[in-house]
Amino acid sequence: MEIPIAVFLPFLPRASLEDLLVVLLVIGLMAAPFVILAQLRRRRVRRFMARVRDREDPS
């Protein structure tokens, strides 16, 4: 059973719910690398990686 997307977004009367989900998936895939990089730059991750490096290389 296909729900017309006009119920949720009246300005898109011809788009189906599946079309909206595909658009959201594409937007999510485009945004994912930026979100991942932002998380990797966080201070806690840097400190953790520094500790791991110190354990691996005691010199």
Every domain of the chain and the residues it spans: 5-56
- pLDDT surpasses 90 at 56: no
Q: Give the span between the Cα atoms of 25 and 18, in whole angstroms.
A: 10
DSSP assignment of the chain: -PPBGGGT-TT-TT-BHHHHHHHHHHHHHHHHHHHHHHHHTSHHHHHHHHHHHHHH---
Q: Tell me the whole-structure pTM to 2 decimals.
A: 0.47
What single-letter amino acid sits at 34?
A: F
Q: What is the pLDDT of residues 2-50, one digit of tens each?
A: 666 556 666 666 777 888 888 899 999 999 999 888 887 887 778 888 8
Phi, psi of 13 (to 5 degrees): -70, -20
For the four alpha carbons of 49, 52, 53 and 58, in that order, the dihedral sign comes to positive
